[in-house]
């Protein structure tokens, strides 16, 4: 492979975040552009898990619920995560999955707007969000779903005096389009509605300002840009203003005011703990403790700046080096309106991505025709971008993707 030109190497040499790459295990020879699906393993996780298994589980056994703080992990991890999303330490818990947290937050929001009958959401959003919203709808026959892309062109058009809650992704998983959190939150509030932000594709890769925007609820994922590992727990945020009387239907014992009283009567815990349900996967939580340490001392404004530069460079190089290749940009061209991923359409996108992966450039494919590349500024550099585009150019120019092996679909794309 050609060596990146000096101006590209100079950008890596000048990168104030360049040192953060050493915090991750990145397999040799791989350019990993899929941190938006599963982040790589932070090195600190290995010793953290060794300690949690050998010392706490094997050694101290049940005493670890107290001694090692296992029981409080949803709150302590939530407080640790809070600065990354612009929240107070008492407004976030780490627990369950995004899907389950959406269910709880939607119900909690609807309970705060009992006389309203509509949920506004995006038809093209990540399907689980819609599936959960329609599941919530099945328990409440008076509830209507209004979808951008089906019932109106914009979310703003669909928000009115009957809207209870707006469910919206900050960054779209397919196109990478970035919403204006402050503006849309203000628009929902002007109509008396609440807003629930899904941060799955933004947490860990840009400054997020939930409190400053006046957001009501948020959910997010910790196995993408937060690098918590496969199946790592989700998180949820509820603004302090809504903590009094917070109610959700998965009111298991971890949400009880006094779980170890084992009372037959349910009394919700005060504050954010009312959003908990039951026992959490402690080993996964512990991996996340160490994964979040990789953000120590990291300036999220610098992360965003580098993210915009990496994605700008990728788009410019692909368009310059792969003209007439059947690729069409499917992401916003303006970096300010884009998350940390870039998508291109190609009518043989699946095979092209498989050929890239076989050559060590790992992105992913989203039906029907989207090649998706995520750029995590903590461990991706400018030379990686340049090299990835060289491999893409070679795969397209040579027609290497036509190998029938690349057309066979795996279960996970």
Among residues 243, 392, 242, the alpha carbon closest in space to that of 317 is found at 392
Size of the site for ligand PLP (CB under 6 A): 13
Task: Look up residue 368 and give its DSSP letter.
Answer: T
User: Of residues 15, 198, 369, 384, which one binds ligand PLP by CB under 6 A?
Assistant: 198
Establish if 234 lies at the interface with ligand PLP (CB under 6 A).
yes
Establish if 34 lies at the interface with ligand PLP (CB under 6 A).
no
Q: Token digits for 375? A: 């750029």
CB of 167 to ligand PLP, least distance (A): 10
Residues 6+ apart with CB under 8 A from 268: 246, 247, 251, 255, 256, 257, 274
Binding mask 62-101 for ligand PLP (x = CB under 6 A): -----------------------------------xxx--
CB of 189 to ligand PLP, least distance (A): 23
Please say whether the beta carbons of 212 and 183 come within 8 A.
no
Q: Token digits for 171? A: 């960054």
CB of 104 to ligand PLP, least distance (A): 12
Active-site positions?
126, 198, 223-224, 372
Establish if 123 lies at the interface with ligand PLP (CB under 6 A).
no
Residue-level length of the chain: 413
Establish if 42 lies at the interface with ligand PLP (CB under 6 A).
no
Establish if 128 lies at the interface with ligand PLP (CB under 6 A).
yes
Number of H helices, E strands in the chain: 13, 15
Binding mask 368-407 for ligand PLP (x = CB under 6 A): ----------------------------------------
Among residues 351, 290, 409, 365, the alpha carbon closest in space to that of 34 is found at 365
Nearer to ligand PLP, 93 or 351 (CB): 93
Please say whether the beta carbons of 211 and 88 come within 8 A.
yes
Establish if 216 lies at the interface with ligand PLP (CB under 6 A).
no
Establish if 235 lies at the interface with ligand PLP (CB under 6 A).
no
Cβ neighbours around 409 below 10 Å, total: 11
How many whole angstroms separate alpha carbon 237 and alpha carbon 78? 9
Helix (H) / strand (E) containing 214: none
- Interface with ligand PLP by CB under 6 A: which residues? 97-99, 126, 128-129, 169, 173, 198, 200-201, 221, 234
């Amino acid at each position: 492979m050609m060596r990146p030109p000096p101006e590209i190497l100079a950008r890596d040499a000048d990168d104030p975040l360049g040192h953060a790459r050493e915090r991750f295990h990145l397999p040799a020879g791989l350019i990993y552009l899929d941190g938006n699906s599963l982040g790589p393993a932070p090195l600190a996780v290995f010793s953290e898990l060794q300690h949690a298994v050998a010392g706490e589980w094997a050694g101290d056994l049940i005493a670890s619920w107290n001694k090692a703080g296992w029981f409080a992990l949803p709150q302590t991890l939530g407080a640790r995560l809070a600065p990354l999303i612009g929240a107070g330490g008492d407004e976030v818990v780490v627990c369950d999955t995004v899907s389950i947290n959406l269910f709880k937050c939607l119900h909690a929001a609807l309970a705060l707007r009992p006389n309203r009958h509509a949920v506004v959401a995006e038809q093209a959003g990540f399907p689980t969000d819609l599936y959960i919203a329609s599941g919530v709808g099945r328990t409440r026959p008076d509830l209507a779903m209004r979808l951008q892309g089906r019932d109106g062109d914009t979310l703003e058009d669909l928000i009115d005096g009957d809207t209870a809650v707006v469910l919206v992704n900050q960054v779209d998983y397919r196109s990478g389009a970035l919403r204006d959190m402050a503006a849309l939150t203000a628009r929902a509030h002007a109509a008396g509605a609440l807003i629930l932000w899904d941060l799955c594709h933004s947490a860990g890769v840009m400054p997020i300002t939930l409190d400053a925007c006046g957001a009501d609820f948020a959910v997010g994922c910790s196995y993408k840009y937060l690098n918590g590992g496969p199946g790592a727990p989700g998180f949820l945020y509820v603004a302090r203003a809504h903590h009094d009387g917070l109610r959700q239907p998965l009111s298991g014992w971890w949400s009880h005011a006094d779980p170890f009283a084992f009372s037959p009567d349910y009394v919700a815990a005060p504050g954010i703990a009312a959003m908990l349900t039951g026992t959490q996967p402690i080993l996964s939580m512990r991996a996340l403790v160490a994964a979040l340490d990789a953000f120590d001392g990291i300036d999220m404004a610098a992360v965003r700046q580098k993210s915009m530069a990496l994605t700008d460079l990728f788009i410019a190089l692909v368009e310059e080096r792969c003209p007439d290749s059947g690729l069409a940009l499917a992401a916003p061209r303006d970096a300010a309106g884009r998350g940390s991923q870039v998508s291109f359409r190609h009518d043989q996108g699946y095979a092209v991505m498989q050929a890239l992966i076989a050559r060590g450039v790992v992105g992913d494919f989203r039906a029907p025709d989207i090649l998706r590349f995520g750029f995590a500024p903590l461990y991706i550099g400018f030379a990686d971008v340049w090299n990835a585009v060289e491999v893409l150019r070679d795969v397209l120019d040579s027609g290497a993707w036509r190998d029938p092996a690349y057309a066979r679909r795996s279960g996970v794309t």
